Amino acid sequence: MPLTDDEVAHVAMLARLGLTEEERARLAVELGAIIDHVSALERVDTSAVAETAHIGGMVNVWREDVERPPIDRAAALANAPDQDGSCFRVGAIQEER
Amino acid sequence: MSAGPETVAECIGALRSGAVTSAELLDRTRARIAALDPRVNSFLGLTDALADEAAEEADRRLRSGAEDLPPLCGVPVAVKDVLCLEGAETTAGSRILAGFRPPYTATAVGRLLDAGAVMVGKTNCDEFAMGSSNENSAYGPVRNPWDLERVPGGSSGGSAAAVAARMVPLTMGTDTGGSIRQPAALCGVVGFKPTYGRVSRYGLIAFASSLDQVGPFALSVEDAALGYHVIAGHDPLDGTSSPTAVEDPLQGLREGVDGLRLGVPREYFGEGLDPGVRAATERALEVLGSLGATLEEVSLPSTDAALSTYYVIAPAEASSNLARYDGIRFGLREDHPSLLQTYLHTRDAGFGAEVKRRIMLGTYALSSGYYDAYYRKAQKVRTLIAEDFARVFERVDALVSPTSPVTAFPLGAHSDPLSMYLLDVLTVPVNLAGLPGVSVPCGLVDGLPTGLQVIAPRFMDARALRVAHAYEQATDWHTLRPGGVEARAS
């Protein structure tokens, strides 16, 4: 069953994905079909089953709390779309009133 | 038609005997790439300066007659473009990372370099490793060297095709739901996904962190074992990397399968399996039986639910991992007066259709009101899938099955995303259970290669390779050369 346009728009906003109207319409149908398929999981009895988040079985891996040389600042900034030599530069994060 | 050494083992032999220099191997690799890759499109970028330097260094070491040469000294290699190499453009096949030059090198890549390998370049792949055909690369699809109108499989299609076309003898790919084994099967080469936690994921651009694993493509199981052995082992920079000791996969490689019990999961021979693939697999099972293995039908009852489980968990993890592409610290930015609009426009412009689809699917599965029904439920079914394997491994030493239910299909054949997802049915359970799996060539169906999958218990990577090696050495499918690209190259 296709998702509604409202559902697609809601999920897209959660995912911070700007989508065109055309993309939303296509995704409503495609996601609907995929979700119908994976809904088969409902039929599996998992009443007495624990979740597996991770297969390794490892817990709380620690390292010694010692200083290590950090990544060079220039190298860290080298890929930034915009920077001022010491910081990433971004637009205002508060809307003007 | 062939001149000089082709496999990793042959290259190592020729380099050490002085029959060939690393510089000569590099020249030949470049000549093959120049002649064939305009049609195959398996490379996104070449690392020429780095390769020249490494070949020169390797030749100096080889000439010196030193006895402690690193294992891959002078051997040309390439890695999938989701693996970071300091200073070399690394895009993950995405527009959003166009021009990105990582400030550090992935552990798996660093270990190859430390082993003396000559890094030739970065291979093409589905965007962020999401796909089963390599048609989702923002830089054009890879084409199958056996038939240029067909896909090489995915997502590590470039790594598979480059080995199949004999451009390089060894490449690295990554496998989240089959992305090494399936393209290996479709391109007629060996592909090995190690146990989850065996190879460090540090510097691997994350798709689904609980499933991703790095592994080799090669022309033989021995070569794949050589490549795997170099990259395997604990890495303090990856908290999920296992501290258990790595078994040398070359040690027992030739011990054969005599006396081994091999399980044949009946659910892997169900509906949707191409009759030609089925017949080739059944012949492969007969070969293993003739080599002394005991074959036994087993059941993995949760197999049916594995695909759905995978297509909830992998997109959920992906949607979280890909939140970092926000146009602030690296990658594309579509500037806009408001920050929210900058995010929305950057991500719309930077991601391709399949990546958006999976981010949407994963966000949906994690969103309030659906989390329990999809994500938590899938995590529980994942437990059942892992338990299925654990149960059969009490009775059998390894499992054998087809790798992919179909051979290479024409470009554009699966425009419906769900129909493409269904092709991953035989590979995703292995990732969900964190097991090692290898695909080895086991026949031609209408002139196209097909693969046999060998699955072993966790950390029994060497056993998976040993079974695959025994089969390979009893057959000659791995020696066949792809006609499609050679015919047009001459």
State mean pLDDT over B133-162.
98
pLDDT exceeds cutoff 90 at A60: no
Residue B196 sits at the chain A interface (C-beta within 8 Å): yes
Q: Least CB-CB distance to A31: which of B361, B421, B434?
A: B361
Catalytic residue annotation of B: 80, 155, 179
State mean pLDDT over A40-45.
95
pLDDT exceeds cutoff 70 at B2: no
Residue B261 sits at the chain A interface (C-beta within 8 Å): no
Mean pLDDT of chain B: 96
Query: Given this model, what pLDDT does residue B483 score?
Result: 86
* Distance, CA of B47 to CA of B119 (rounded, Å): 7
What is the dihedral angle through the alpha carbons of B350, B353, B356, B357, rounded to the nearest 10 degrees? -170
Contact A55 B351 (CB under 8 A): no
Token reading at B395: 């009775």
pLDDT in tens, B417-442: 999 999 999 999 999 999 999 999 99
pTM, rounded to two decimals: 0.97
Residue B311 sits at the chain A interface (C-beta within 8 Å): yes
Split at pLDDT 50, 70, 90, the class of B1 is very low
pLDDT exceeds cutoff 90 at B484: no
Task: Report B:348-367 residues touching A (Cβ under 8 A).
Answer: 348, 351, 353, 356-357, 359-361, 363-364, 367
Contact B302 A58 (CB under 8 A): no
Q: Least CB-CB distance to B329: which of A42, A63, A80?
A: A80
Specify the amino acid at residue B350: G
Contact A50 B380 (CB under 8 A): yes
Residue B304 sits at the chain A interface (C-beta within 8 Å): yes
pLDDT exceeds cutoff 90 at B485: no
Buried residues in B102-112 as b, exposed as e (16+ CB within 10 A): bbbbbbbbbbb
pLDDT in tens, B214-258: 999 999 999 999 999 999 999 999 999 999 999 999 999 999 999
Residue B433 sits at the chain A interface (C-beta within 8 Å): yes
- Which of A14, A8, A13 has the alpha carbon at shortest distance from A26? A8
State mean pLDDT over B380-388.
98
pLDDT exceeds cutoff 70 at B332: yes
Q: Mutate one of B105, B364, B374, B424 to test the A interface: name it (highest A CB count within 10 A).
A: B364
pLDDT exceeds cutoff 90 at B121: yes
Question: Chain A residues with CB inside 8 Å of B338's CB?
Answer: 91-92, 95
Contact B380 A51 (CB under 8 A): yes
Question: Chain B residues with CB inside 8 Å of A14's CB?
Answer: 363, 367
Q: Are B193 and B438 in contact (CB under 8 A)?
A: yes
pLDDT in tens, B24-72: 999 999 999 999 999 999 999 999 999 999 999 999 999 998 889 999 9
Q: Mutate one of B104, B309, B356, B360 to test the A interface: name it (highest A CB count within 10 A).
A: B360
Q: Give the residue, B115 or B490, on which the prediction is more confident.
A: B115
Provide the percentage of residues in chain B whose pLDDT is more than 70. 99
Contact B357 A15 (CB under 8 A): no
Split at pLDDT 50, 70, 90, the class of B490 is very low
* Distance, CA of B425 to CA of B423 (rounded, Å): 6
Split at pLDDT 50, 70, 90, the class of A57 is confident
Residue of B nearest to A14 (CA): B363
Residue B339 sits at the chain A interface (C-beta within 8 Å): yes
Q: Least CB-CB distance to B103: which of A16, A23, A78?
A: A78
Query: Given this model, what pLDDT does residue B285 score?
Result: 98
pLDDT in tens, B63-99: 998 889 999 999 999 999 999 999 999 999 999 999 9
Q: Least CB-CB distance to A31: which of B103, B360, B373?
A: B360
